[in-house]
Amino acid sequence: MGESMQEVNVASLGLDKASNTPVVILKEKGGERVLPIWIGPGEASAIAMKLAGIQFSRPLTHDLLNTVVRGLGSELVRVLITKVVDNTYYATLIFRRDGELLSIDSRPSDSIALALRAEAPIFADEDLLEMTALEIEEAQFEPGEKEPDFLATTGEASGPTPGNAEETPRGEGLREYLKGLNPEDFGRFTP
> What's the pLDDT score for residue 54?
87
What is the rounded CA–CA span in Å between residue 18 and residue 154?
A: 9
> What's the pLDDT score for residue 11?
92
C-beta of residue 154 within 8 angstroms of C-beta of residue 168: no
What is the rounded CA–CA span in Å between residue 58 and residue 74?
A: 22
> What's the pLDDT score for residue 165?
52
Domain that holds residue 171: 5-188
> What's the pLDDT score for residue 17?
83
What is the rounded CA–CA span in Å between residue 161 and residue 38?
A: 11
Q: What is the domain count for the chain? A: 1
> What's the pLDDT score for residue 182?
55
> What's the pLDDT score for residue 185?
59
Q: What is the pLDDT of residues 151-181, one digit of tens each?
A: 222 333 333 333 445 655 443 455 555 555 5
β 100-106/88-97 pair status: antiparallel
What is the rounded CA–CA span in Å between residue 167 and residue 172?
A: 13
What is the rounded CA–CA span in Å between residue 67 and residue 184?
A: 38
> What's the pLDDT score for residue 170?
43
> What's the pLDDT score for residue 161?
38
Within 10 Å of residue 60's Cβ, how many Cβ atoms? 17
CATH number at residue 107: 3.10.690.10
Q: Which residues of the chain have pLDDT under 70?
A: 1-3, 134-191
